[in-house]
Amino acid sequence: MADQLESTQRPAASKKKTWTVAIAGSAAILLGAGVLMQVTRPTPAYPEDGSAAKNAQPKAAAASADAQKKAAKIVARVGKDQISYDDLAAECVDRYHKDVLDDLINRRIILQACDAQGIEVSEAEVQTEIQKTAKKFGLAVDQYLQMLEAERNISEKKYRRDIVWPMLALRKLAGEKIEVTPADVKKAFVRAYGERVRAKAIVMDNTRRAREVWEQAQQHPDDFEKLVRQHSIDRNSAAMDGVIPPIARYGGSDKLEEVAFKLKEGEISAMVQVGPSQIVILKCEGRTVPTVTDIKQVENILVEELKEEKMQMAVAETFKKLKADARVDNYISGTSTGGKVSTSSTKGPAGNVRQVGATDDDTADAPAAKSAGKPSKAPAKSKKGTPAE
């Protein structure tokens, strides 16, 4: 959902660039936060009055009675045949159960954490956050909400409940205190306004082939652009003879930055391993000239950006921990994640529930795989003498 939120706060969508996996670490952090918010939703008991827990039981009872009425409801008739609400529900579950159930599970995780800590998010807080966001665009609230619906297909209700509410709840769960040090501000200034390396890149996913291309580039540096078009797997940069956005310091890919800033204009780098299966070869095109040289001119802006960045990271870490601590037995997918094993039956429509990542021989009592989230394949090791960084 933060991804949805982030997308609503950009006037236009940016173009995709696969090479940014290598050099846009900060963007990756924000994206990670974006992915987090996509799957977090508040519970159906959206706290219009600021308290989700107060009305939980009455609403649950009403929902149960409503469900019984809907089950008997006929939603369509085809000749002599009737299609009931249950028929429709079963079809929807069959088609969309994964995404919808995951959303429901994550909503419940957030609400339980809020209830456990006595955390509430009021309608007034939601409204204030919307006003702040609208102000950033220079729009009135009603204009901003109309823009969301027209351009992003996000209704006001969905925006309030599915985007703003969980963001505020997770911020409170993460803790509002965020510290920004002078060293943080200095790094952010260098990253945003400092000198950058203009470069072209060949991106490859095979070490042996990359070595062959690197050797050709060393022997014929003037053919670098030709090699880009022939061998680079990144179509966006290859279409521009390998041109990539200038590489900044503290952008998130330390190894690539270290290599780039050692290059002189016209030099070709060694092979740089930037991921489990991604190799980059750079050709330096020179340096950019900083447009801002006095940090005091932009210090306040940098501090606010750093606070938001650190908050996003704290939110992501908080939700990660909540999911790790919450035991979830998904009977439809037949998987279990996090927490302790439920004492109730571990069997459902899909059969035995097993830990995610476990083999068929593992039981629901098996701990979560320690390798979860890690690359399935380790980076290829360079042979002795290989010009790999």
Q: Is residue 25 part of a domain?
A: no
Query: Is 310 within 8 Å of 300 (Cβ atoms)?
Result: no
CATH for 244: 3.10.50.40
Asked if residue 273 and residue 190 are part of one domain, the reply reads yes
272-320 confidence digits (pLDDT tens): 998 888 999 999 999 999 989 999 999 999 999 999 899 989 999 999 9
In this structure, are 371 and 283 located in the same domain?
no
Residue 388 domain-assigned? yes
Are 228 and 283 in a shared domain?
yes
Maximum CA pair distance of the chain? 80
Assess whether 271 and 215 both reside in one domain.
yes
Query: Rounded distance, CA 340 to CA 172, Å?
Result: 25
Instruction: Please indicate, yes or no, if residue 347 is contained in any of the structural domains.
Output: yes
Q: Is 208 domain-assigned?
A: yes
Residue pair 107/115 in contact (Cβ under 8 Å)? The answer is: no
Evaluate whether residue 369 is within a structural domain: yes
Q: Is residue 87 part of a domain?
A: no
Model confidence pLDDT, tens digit, residues 199-244: 999 999 999 999 999 999 999 999 999 999 999 999 999 999 999 9
- How much is the mean pLDDT over the chain? 77
Find out whether 75 and 83 touch, Cβ atoms under 8 Å.
Answer: yes
Q: Is residue 236 part of a domain?
A: yes
Contact 375, 276 (CB under 8 A): yes
- Write out pLDDT tens, residues 13-57: 443 444 443 444 433 333 333 434 443 334 333 543 344 445 455
Residue 62: band (very low, low, confident or very high) from pLDDT cuts 50, 70, 90:
low
Domain total of the chain: 2
- In a domain? residue 266: yes
Residue 59: predicted pLDDT? 59
- Which of the listed residues 260, 287, 314 is the one where a domain comes to its end? 287
Q: pTM score, two decimals?
A: 0.58
Residue 365 predicted with pLDDT over 50? no
Expressed in angstroms, the distance from the first to the final Cα of the chain is 37
Provide the 10 A C-beta neighbour count for residue 200. 22
Supply 8's token pair: 């609503």
Q: Where are the alpha helices (DSSP H) in 137-206?
A: 141-152, 156-158, 165-174, 182-193
**Domain containing residue 203:** 186-287
pLDDT-derived band at 158, boundaries 50, 70, 90:
confident
267 and 190 inside one domain: yes
